[in-house]
Amino acid sequence: MSKMQLLKVIILGDSGVGKTSLMNQYVQKKFDTRYKATIGAEFLSKEINIDGQDVKVQIWDTAGQERFQSLGSAFYRGADACILVFDVTSMESFSHLTSWMEEFNIQAGKRDCVLIGNKVDLNDKRSVTSRTAQTWCQKNDENIKYFETSAKDNSGVEEAFLAVATAALKKKAGAVEEDSVPAISINLNNPKNQKKKEKDGCPC
């Protein structure tokens, strides 16, 4: 039986876009209508199975306020993937996505990301269209998948988190395979190699 894999996933985006609500809905299946700003960083874990592999997804949530962006390398260290979140009713939160992605790439290196447009339950107040969000993905990284969610109604949440976990697990498995390729060493004191050196005129 294969051992459980740990995946660290970071949620990034402006304050108030619903990062904490998405995490709570995915892990605990609950939604709190009272808004409480996240102070610093916190995380929740959920155990899932992806294609027969047991996985513990550790989801890190951070405050979106500028003053907390100084959490820096300790927060990002060991991250396997990133979820970028904006509020479909807020063009301002959408306009900040590029800087959030750049911050993640600088701190954690380039990793798999998904983009979430949250609060689609407020569709009548929408200011960012699906096409606009998809165009952003194509422009910044064609591998970024886009999902529309409602943390309140729990629509699209499971699919978005599963997509980022699956991509991160696949990449992690590939990295392990690369690390396990045996190195080929040559013993220079081997008589066969010595004869070859003499034949090639090597005086060493």
- 123 has a pLDDT exceeding 90: yes
Q: What is the pLDDT of residues 19-67, one digit of tens each?
A: 999 999 999 998 877 656 555 567 899 999 999 999 999 999 876 655 4
Query: What is the pLDDT, as a whole number, of residue 21?
Result: 93
In the chain, how many domains are there?
1
DSSP letter (8 states) at residue 150: B
Q: What is the CATH number of the domain that holds 130?
A: 3.40.50.300
Q: What is the pLDDT of residues 134-175, one digit of tens each?
A: 999 999 987 899 999 999 999 999 999 999 999 999 988 776
In a domain, 63, yes or no: yes
Residue 130 sits at the vertex; the CA angle it makes with 125 and 134, to the nearest 5 degrees, is: 145
Pairing verdict, β 145-148 and 112-118 = parallel
- 69 has a pLDDT exceeding 80: no
**Could you tell me the pTM of the whole model?**
0.80
Which residues form the domain of 75?
Answer: 5-199
In a domain, 204, yes or no: no
d(CA 137, CA 184): 41
- 16-50 exposure pattern, b = at least 16 Cβ within 10 A, e = fewer: ebbbbbbbbbbeeeebeeeeeebeeeebeeeebeb
**Cβ distance 56 to 36 under 8 Å?**
no
